[in-house]
Amino acid sequence: MPKARTGEAFLLASTLGRLAKTPRLLFKLIGALESSAIFLLCASSCVPEENAQPQTNEGEFISPWGSPLANGGATQTSTGGGAPDEKPTQGTGSKNQGGQTSFQSGDTGGTAGGQTTGNEGTGGAPSPSGSGGGSSGGSEGGAGPPADCTLVLEGSNAPEEEAWTVHDFSTNEARFSDGSAFLLDTSVASGAPWLLFSLDLGLELPFRIYFELQVIKAAPHNQFDAAIAFLGAYTPNTHGIGYERSQMLFFDETGVGWGDDSQFVTFDTRTKLHPYLLEVDTKGNAQLFIDGLLALSLNNFQTNGRIAFGDQTNDPAVDGAFKIKNIAFCPP
């Protein structure tokens, strides 16, 4: 064979050999690129399912097992129907010296005797743990006075129609009954109105007084003065004298306390007709139960036999509106 032919044949064979190898190299290159792309994608988005973080709403943390814990705090629930439980939280301050307790309304109420929980306040009025009804806390929210009590103001009539005395130093105030509760509104009156209703029960220690009250609106109280007050002792035609004002109960929109500001319990007084039970023993040790839970305590409580309620102060712009019913005197 001529040399030219031999060289051409060698060149052709070499070229064909390189072309035969090229597809295998291309396939290897494509496979490597695909593996790299999958790896890069998973590095940014493919997380093992057990480590995935659940989505949350703003301000809320959801644990891996799906239980919502608002801001990381534990949730509390109570079972049963009826009025919402009032759950006390820890109080602060020294007893009868500015002690404060907090109530937090639950949305999943419990029946009477439904279990509620609370921590004892540090120095302040003790916050009880135990059954919602309490051994001496009266009946559950809004259900009426205990069976052994005598009703002295039902609420379906004006107090003066049920033997109460009106101490009226107000003008143009609104007062009427909606058929089940008595309503007083001194915020619509002119000047510096005050208006009290009193009843001489001939009280002596020990005694218990039950009533249901709902604040509609109220200007914040001043020490010894309140737009909405309940007095366990009252001298007629006055704002109450020294000790009467010191130990009276005031009702703000944000809570209830003694007139001398020694103790104050925080909760929303506007949500419903809350049941209150004032108990005083033979030594003058007073306790106030709210919704069946012990909320306030006071030493050296006194009475002159007469109780009163209403707008107790003539301080300008310290006025309010509230509903009250089922005031009852109960044996000790």
Each residue of 199-252: pLDDT tens digit? Answer: 999 999 999 999 999 999 999 999 999 999 999 999 999 999 999 999 999 999
Confidence of residue 88 (pLDDT cuts 50, 70, 90): very low
Write the CB contacts of 312 (distance below 8 Å, at least 6 apart in sequence).
194, 196, 225, 226, 227, 229, 231, 239, 240, 245, 248
Top-confidence residue, 133 or 186 = 186
Confidence of residue 89 (pLDDT cuts 50, 70, 90): very low
Confidence of residue 85 (pLDDT cuts 50, 70, 90): very low
Which residue in this structure is represented by tokens 């390189």?
18
pLDDT of 170 reads: 67
Q: Minimal CA–CA distance to 291: which of 143, 72, 74?
A: 143
Contact present, 192 and 316 (Cβ < 8 Å): yes
Alpha helices in the chain (DSSP H): 3-45, 242-247
Pairing of strands 150-153, 165-168: unpaired
Q: Which one-letter DSSP state was computed for residue 222?
A: B
Which residue in this structure is represented by tokens 């029960």?
201
pTM listed for this prediction: 0.61
Q: Is the pLDDT of residue 27 over 80?
A: no
pLDDT of 94 reads: 35
Mean of pLDDT over the chain = 71
Q: Which residues pair with 222 in a beta bridge?
A: 225
What does the chain come to in residues?
332
Break the chain into its structural domains and give their ranges: 3-46, 86-330
Classify 237 as helix, strand or coil.
Answer: coil
Among the four given CATH numbers 2.40.30.10, 2.60.120.560, 3.90.1150.10, 3.20.20.100, the one describing domain 86-330 = 2.60.120.560
DSSP string, 14-35: HHHHHHHHHHHHHHHHHHHHHH
pLDDT of 49 reads: 40
